[in-house]
Amino acid sequence: MSDEKIYLFDEFTLDLARGCLLRAGEPVHLRPQSYEVPKYLVDHRGRLVSNDRLIEEVWRGRVVTDDSLVQCLRDVRHALGGSSGQHIRNVRGRGYMLEAVAGDHDQRQTREGSSEIDPGVKAPEDGEAAGNKAATMQAASPLAVKTRRARFALLTDSTKVVTLPVASLLVITLAVGAAYYFFWSRPEPPATAAGVRSLAVLPFKPLAGESYDEVLELGMADTLIARLSNNRQIVVRPTGAVRRYGGLEQDPLAAGRALNVEAVLDGHIQRSGDRIRVSARLVSVDDGKQLWAGQFDEQMADIFTVQDSISQRVAAALALKLSGEEQKRLSKRHTSNIRAYQSYLQGRYHVQRRTREHLLTGISFYEKAIKEDANYALAYAGLADAYSFLVSRAYIAPHEGRRRAREAAAKALALDDNLAEAHSAIGQTHIFFAPYNFAVGDRELRRAIELSPNLTTAHEFLRNSLQEQGRLDEGLEEALKARELDPLSPTIARNVAFSYLLRREYPRSLEHYQQTRELGPLFVFGIEIEIYIQNGLLDEALLELEKAARERRDEPLLTYSAGMVYAAQGKQIEALRIIEELEQMSKVGLNHAHWIARIYATLNDKELALNWLERGLDAEAVGIFFKDAPVWDTIRSDPRFVTLLRRMNIPQ
């Protein structure tokens, strides 16, 4: 080890003799291991130190993961306010280096007259030099720190050596050592998380940057989110809200602030052959204190055991008072087949992206998961959702999607009557496709919310149901609940805007819609174009549609939206051309009958609007229908419209 005693960088002092880090003379708290990392790098500055070497020297044979080392470096950077990044360099996959800079001298050179020593400090006399190794050193003057060319400077003692008996020196050494252990080495009392009532589980990150596996990393978070969401004591942000925070450089505290939660659970995960290494920690967003941490090195097949342990320990750290039923759901495994689980993760990853290609790919993975485990209720529930989303975007014939969605949802419910996702799936099939059964749909969706209060999709589907029935105030309440659970979801935010549109609060609807523009792509639902139209922003709508069309080709929703704008502008020829395109797209299953009826209603062609609604209903091609939408004002008083509502089982 180096004989140097004090190391300066910026306004910080690393005092090796006293075993502490100072800032402007005041101690900066670091955990013992966090202090030992920069200390070892100082002793080997200018040389690349491997991760394994650092772990061996700092933890002295204890078995820890690379994440422990990463966390120590984070602690150091946090303590130094980020300035350590100028000095400690990470060579990816190889190790760390404290870079030697111009003007940095070893102790021998400095004693011989380095210009980095404050000239005002008295040089030691010959008789004093020998005693300097055991003496306490005096800090450099502010002038020396300010004017030195190099960032680091070695200081030597400028005080006289006091000769003490060996026994006295031994006593003092023991006393100093005891004090160091008491103040710096003892474990920090764990912070309490009992008051935490909102949590975000961030996508896990790879232990090595080159082995990025987004499906596994997001899937681990998704599984833990589902487990921790099954109680009313804490709000857990859904997967859709956190997936954007999976970057390697993502600051978990910044993510927590953006998500407006009190604590974040983040971690690292690495698969190597048939083994999996996982580290996780629960951190307070307010002050950055670690509330819990754990590390696991298991067989890949034991990932379920790791998930059990993390969810249970986090619940304990949060002091959640779980009922017996909630405790069971916290530790519930939906499958013990690792291949089925991996296929499910792939399916969920793709379905959440909601494009036609991703939905179809997700369905194939769900089916593969079910082939591996025929009793995988969660995979059946996911399959039902995927088919419902295909229908809602008119990607497949409604009657076909409806049949497949209901079959999958019914199978999920038969396999597990206590699965919230199964109740949500069966509930949506009763309110997504006309004729509706709102009594069954609402009952199932409320049961899903009872089982999993943080399940945003259940709140969203219930909002749909209530607004289809004309219960606009209750629908808005559910929309706001969903937004509270997932404040960054573009879908939920736009549905809040649409809720105000149904209430004829057009300026307020536009205000909420404009707040969503940075959250995700525009025009992913048919409702958005109506906000533009009712606020008279027709030219603006066309410009936005042109931008979206350049990125998403052959998208029926964009074609329909353009037809609505042309109709609102009174451009009948252009609107009819759009209708012809939609007819060609759906001539087999009448997928777009509902949309075509909307364009005719906007053109004030009552007869054709009603005809297309009737044709769509006969073909079971009418999906979600909002009777209070302004687009139906031109035909609302027609007896045929009232008859159509009755056929769809929509209350008058």
- Residue-wise pLDDT tens digits, 600-618: 999 999 999 999 999 989 9
Domain end position, chosen among 147, 179, 206: 147
Do both 135 and 211 map to the same domain?
A: no
State the pLDDT confidence band at 131, using cuts at 50, 70 and 90.
very low
Do both 553 and 644 map to the same domain?
A: yes
Convert 87-116 to b/e letters by CB count within 10 Å (16 or more is b). bbeeeeeebbbbeeeeebbebeebbeebeb
Q: How many C-beta neighbours within 10 Å does residue 225 have?
A: 23
Residue 416 lies in a domain: no
Q: Which DSSP letter does residue 191 get?
A: P
Angle made by CA atoms 169, 172, 176, in degrees to the nearest 5:
140
Provide the number of structural domains found in the chain.
Answer: 3
Residue 625 lies in a domain: yes
The residue-averaged pLDDT of 551-559 equals 79
Look at residue 99 in the predicted model and tell me its pLDDT: 61
What is the spatial distance between Cα 367 and Cα 340, in angstroms, rounded to a whole number? 10
Token pair listed for 437? 């059964």
- Residue 183 amino acid letter: F
Look at residue 430 in the predicted model and tell me its pLDDT: 93
State the pLDDT confidence band at 111, using cuts at 50, 70 and 90.
very low
pLDDT above 60 for 225: yes
CATH number reported for the structural domain that contains residue 224 in this entry? 3.40.50.10610
Domain end position, chosen among 333, 357, 384: 333
Query: Lowest-confidence range among 135-139, 294-298, 324-328, 402-406?
Result: 135-139
pLDDT above 70 for 145: no
Strand partners, 28: 21
Look at residue 421 in the predicted model and tell me its pLDDT: 93
Q: Which DSSP letter does residue 161 get?
A: P
What is the spatial distance between Cα 538 and Cα 195, in angstroms, rounded to a whole number? 49
Convert 48-82 to b/e letters by CB count within 10 Å (16 or more is b). ebebeebbeebeeeeebbbbbbbbbbebbeebbee
- Determine if residue 504 is left, alpha or beta; phi over 0 gives left, psi from -120 to 50 gives alpha, anything else beta: left
Phi, psi of 13 (to 5 degrees): -130, 125
* 71-91 tens-digit pLDDT: 677 667 666 665 444 567 776
State the pLDDT confidence band at 3, using cuts at 50, 70 and 90.
very low
More confident residue, 376 or 98: 376
Average pLDDT, the chain: 77
Do both 11 and 143 map to the same domain?
A: yes
Do both 140 and 264 map to the same domain?
A: no
Do both 221 and 309 map to the same domain?
A: yes
Look at residue 65 in the predicted model and tell me its pLDDT: 52
Spatial CA neighbour of 600 closest among 586, 588, 614: 614
Do both 135 and 213 map to the same domain?
A: no
What is the spatial distance between Cα 49 and Cα 94, in angstroms, rounded to a whole number? 8
CATH number reported for the structural domain that contains residue 594 in this entry? 1.25.40
pLDDT above 90 for 368: yes
Q: How many C-beta neighbours within 10 Å does residue 139 have?
A: 16
Do both 113 and 224 map to the same domain?
A: no
Q: Of the segments 212-226, 374-388, 488-502, which one has the largest average pLDDT value? A: 374-388
Look at residue 294 in the predicted model and tell me its pLDDT: 85
CATH number reported for the structural domain that contains residue 97 in this entry? 1.10.10.10
Look at residue 328 in the predicted model and tell me its pLDDT: 75
What is the spatial distance between Cα 619 and Cα 402, in angstroms, rounded to a whole number? 12
Domain end position, chosen among 119, 147, 175: 147
Look at residue 161 in the predicted model and tell me its pLDDT: 39
* 273-324 tens-digit pLDDT: 788 888 888 898 988 888 888 888 888 777 888 888 888 888 887 777 767 7
Spatial CA neighbour of 50 closest among 91, 88, 95, 89: 95
Look at residue 230 in the predicted model and tell me its pLDDT: 78
- Residue 166 amino acid letter: V
State the pLDDT confidence band at 122, using cuts at 50, 70 and 90.
very low
The residue-averaged pLDDT of 241-269 equals 86
More confident residue, 527 or 546: 546
Residue 500 lies in a domain: no
More confident residue, 585 or 644: 644
8 Å CB contact between 136 and 155: no
State the pLDDT confidence band at 143, using cuts at 50, 70 and 90.
very low
Q: How many C-beta neighbours within 10 Å does residue 439 have?
A: 10
Do both 652 and 532 map to the same domain?
A: yes
Residue 232 lies in a domain: yes
Spatial CA neighbour of 598 closest among 551, 552, 630: 630
More confident residue, 523 or 554: 554
More confident residue, 438 or 296: 438
The residue-averaged pLDDT of 119-142 equals 36
Look at residue 136 in the predicted model and tell me its pLDDT: 33
Helices (H), 140-287: 142-147, 166-180, 214-228, 239-242, 252-258
More confident residue, 289 or 407: 407
Which pairs count as long-range contacts for 93-97, CB under 8 Å and 24+ apart, including other chains? 93/208, 93/209, 93/210, 94/48, 94/50, 94/51, 95/48, 95/49, 95/50, 95/51, 95/53, 95/54, 96/41, 96/48, 96/49, 96/51, 96/54, 97/41, 97/45, 97/46, 97/47, 97/48, 97/49
Do both 138 and 238 map to the same domain?
A: no
What is the domain range of residue 99? 6-147
Query: Lowest-confidence range among 62-71, 580-589, 594-603?
Result: 62-71
Look at residue 77 in the predicted model and tell me its pLDDT: 66
Query: Lowest-confidence range among 175-184, 223-232, 342-351?
Result: 175-184
Its pTM stands at 0.67
Look at residue 396 in the predicted model and tell me its pLDDT: 80
Do both 117 and 238 map to the same domain?
A: no
Residue 384 lies in a domain: no
* 47-59 tens-digit pLDDT: 777 777 777 777 6
Look at residue 631 in the predicted model and tell me its pLDDT: 95
Do both 134 and 204 map to the same domain?
A: no
Angle made by CA atoms 256, 262, 266, in degrees to the nearest 5:
50
Residue 188 lies in a domain: no
Task: Kindly state the percentage of the chain with pLDDT values over 90.
Answer: 31
Query: Lowest-confidence range among 60-64, 129-133, 215-219, 335-339?
Result: 129-133
pLDDT above 60 for 460: yes
Spatial CA neighbour of 199 closest among 224, 182, 177: 224
What is the spatial distance between Cα 25 and Cα 13, in angstroms, rounded to a whole number? 8
Residue 460 lies in a domain: no
Residue 482 lies in a domain: no
* 159-213 tens-digit pLDDT: 333 443 444 444 444 444 444 333 333 344 444 455 778 899 998 888 665 566 7
Spatial CA neighbour of 314 closest among 288, 289, 281: 281
Angle made by CA atoms 633, 501, 515, in degrees to the nearest 5:
150
Do both 99 and 225 map to the same domain?
A: no
Look at residue 86 in the predicted model and tell me its pLDDT: 54
What is the spatial distance between Cα 287 and Cα 54, in angstroms, rounded to a whole number? 28
